Amino acid sequence: MTRQKKPLRLRAQRFKNYLPLYLMMLPAFIYLFINNYLPLSGLVLAFKHYTVQGGIWGSENVGFQNFMFLFQNKDTALILRNTLGYNLLFMVVNMVLGVTLAILITEIGNQRLRKLAQSSMLIPFVVSIIIVSYMVRAFLDPQAGLLNTLLKAMGKNPISWYDTSGPWPYILTFVNAWKGVGYGCILYISSIMGIDPTLYEAARLSGASKLQTIRYITLPFLKPTVITLLLLNLGRIFNSDFGLFFQVPQNSGLIMDVTQTLDTFIYRGLISLPNIGMTAAASLLQSCIGFMLVIAFNALTRKMSRENAIF
């Protein structure tokens, strides 16, 4: 008895010592419970025919019917194509631009210009996507937009941009790059700054040209950062930037074939009640595939560079 009592009391003492620390963590975990864990129970909606009377848990069970509807929906293939296609396109474009601009910025001789260029890269990053969509409107407005003014000045017919699908893949890629390149660029710049300058000096002494030093020193050093960024983005390939695809095309119906992605589809389904089951099914699939991809690509990242992995 006495033998058992002692560790128990010790344990109680230990717990009492750490109690303030647990109390400190309590608010955050209560919050995570409400915001992150409780909603997981709502995932059952994917298997239910939701009615307002029935609520989340009381509605009729329908098994995999919602998933059947989702796969029979003629738009599903299109939505997947857009979500994956744009993500891949954005990844490549932003990577190439980010690396190029980072190298150019670090090569600028004038200190003040270099600092100015570096800090301007993030300005679009801090502006809300709604304001970006206003700016895009100033270029694309069918009557008063800058692009149509230019077209008219060149004697060409104006284009009704918000009703024409063709140019939108380019427009969205451009807007996404304009807003997002700075983020990667800052990362690449900090990697470049971490390269030992004596490497460059040695290369120059042995007669390497500027382009050769970039090709054989800078790029190989950037490779791990580039690859980790790509891997982490691949883990999120089923998630699209809701703001970009919802706000920038201004919810225009005629170009939906090139602007609808999983996230806009889920939002639009959510606000039209009859579709909530199918939307919940899409949402659940997105979460599960996203989870598996993050785990898989994180494992790859760990192999590449331990410190860049999420866990």
Partner 1 sequence: MIKSKQDKRFEVFASVVMVIVMFIIIFPFVLLFISSITEEKTLLINGYSIFPEKLSLAAYEYIWNSRDVIFRAYATTVGVTVIGTTLHVLLVALVAYPLSLRRLPGKSVFNFLLLFTILFNGGLVPTYMIYTTVFHIKDTYFALLVPNLLFSSFNAIIVRTYLRTNVPSELYESAKIDGASEFRIFREIALPLGKPIFVTVAVFAGLNYWNDWTNGLYYVSDSAKYSIQQMLNVMVKNIQYLTQFGRAPTSGSIPSVGLRMAIAFVAMLPILIIYPFLTKYFEKGITLGSVKG
Q: Map the footprint of partner 1 across residues 195-224, applying CB under 8 A.
A: 200-201, 204, 209-211
Q: What span, in angstroms and rounded, lies between the C-alpha atoms of 135 and 207?
A: 48
Q: What's the min distance (Å) between Cβ of 77 and partner 1?
A: 21
The answer to whether residue 267 forms part of the interface with partner 1 (CB under 8 A) is: yes
108 is a site residue for partner 1 (CB under 8 A): yes
**Residues 77, 88, 146, 219: which binds partner 1 (CB under 8 A)?**
146
Binding residue (CB under 8 A) for partner 1 from 83, 133, 259, 261? 133
237-266 footprint of partner 1 as x/- string (CB under 8 A): -----xx---x--xx-----------x--x
Q: Which two tokens stand for residue 63?
A: 């098994």
Kindly tell me the burial class for residue 8, based on how many C-beta atoms sit within 10 Å of its own C-beta (0-12, 13-18, 19 or more): exposed
**Cα 168 from Cα 162, distance rounded (Å):** 9
Give the number of other Cβ atoms within 10 Å of residue 195's Cβ. 15
**Residue 117: both structure tokens together:** 């260029």
Whose Cβ is closer to partner 1: residue 45's or residue 217's?
A: 45
**Which residue in the set 7, 42, 166, 220 belongs to the binding site for partner 1 (CB under 8 A)?**
42
Nearest-approach distance from CB 4 to partner 1, in angstroms: 19
If we measure between CA atoms, which residue out of 76, 267, 259 comes closest to residue 172? 259
Question: Please, are residues 90 and 180 in contact by the beta-carbon 8 Å criterion?
Answer: yes
Residue 86 or 263: the one with the smaller Cβ distance to partner 1 is 263
Question: Rounded to 5 degrees, what are φ and ψ at 60?
Answer: -70, 135
Of residues 78 and 147, the one with the C-beta less far from partner 1? 147
Among 83, 87, 176, 283, binds partner 1 (CB under 8 A): 283
Tell me the CA distances in angstroms from 233 to 88, 101, 116, 277, one per residue in order: 9, 20, 28, 29
Judged by CB under 8 A, the stretch of 1-9, 65-73, 86-94, 278-286 that binds partner 1 is 278-286
Restricted to residues 179-198, the positions that interact with partner 1 (CB under 8 A) are 183, 186-187, 190
Q: How many other CB atoms are there within 10 angstroms of residue 145's CB atom? A: 19
Question: With CB under 8 A as the contact rule, which of the stretches 34-42, 66-74, 84-92, 165-173 interacts with partner 1?
Answer: 34-42
